[in-house]
Amino acid sequence: MSDKHVQTYVCPTCNKRASGRGHMCHPFEGSTPFECEFCKKTVDDPRHVCSSMLDKIEYMCKNCGRLAVYDSNLCQPQPIDTD
């Protein structure tokens, strides 16, 4: 069992609880730099998208149109239709 915990805060855009680096529409200001879990590079952009992520993107924000791998990264996540 890990003793790590994820700090949370309230997103000022949607007023929902966000964790880690926060929602992509309004990233947490203390969220960079971080190591991308997909490309393993240290990046300074909280909205970083790398080629390793592209095939894994599953959600679009109904509010701002941003794309994300995880629904928790967006204020109003909507699954991308893959038909």
1 — pLDDT class (breaks 50, 70, 90)? very low
Please give the backbone phi and psi of residue 53, each rounded to the nearest 5 degrees, phi first. -80, -30
Instruction: Say which residue the tokens 């190591």 belong to.
Output: 35
pLDDT for residue 80 is more than 80: yes
Q: Taking the complete model, does pTM exceed 0.75, yes or no? A: no
CA distance readout (Å), 49 to 14, 17, 45, 59, 74: 22, 23, 9, 13, 14
**Stretch 35-47: mean pLDDT, rounded?**
86
